[in-house]
Amino acid sequence: MRKAALLSAGLFCCVAGMAFLTLSAWILLSEAYGALTAASVIGSFYSGVGLILIAVALSGNRAGSDRAVASKPADPPLMQAFLAGLETGSSTARRRA
C-alpha cells in the first residue's frame, strides 16, 4: 500500500512538473516565434516522446516471453486426468462390444 501511495504521489508530481515546463516553453516560444510555432513545437515534442514510449513498450523482451510459453506443460493436470478417464472408459466400452 505504501509503495502504491508513493508511486501515485511521484506520478502526480511529475505531471505537475510537466505542466509547468510546458507552460514555460509555451511562453518562451510564443514570445520568440509566435503562438502557431509554439504549439507546433510542443505538440511535436509530446508526440515524439509518446511514439518512442509506445515503441519501447511494444519491443519488450521477446526472449523472456518465449521461455515462459515453452515452460508451460502440454496439458494442465485436470485435463490429463480427464483424458486418462476418457481413455479408460473407451477401452472398457470396446472390451464389452
| Cα–Cα distance for residue pair 6/57, rounded to 1 Å | 23
pLDDT at residue 32, as a whole number: 94
* Residue listed under C-alpha cell 513545437: 41
| pLDDT value of residue 44 | 93
Q: Look at the pTM and tell me if it is higher than 0.85.
A: no
d(CA 64, CA 68): 6
- The pLDDT tens digits of the residues spanning 29-67 come to 999 999 999 999 999 999 999 999 888 888 876 665 555
Over the stretch 9-36, which tens digit does the pLDDT of each residue have? 898 999 999 999 999 999 999 999 999 9
- Nearest Cα residue to 41 out of 53, 54, 24, 16: 24
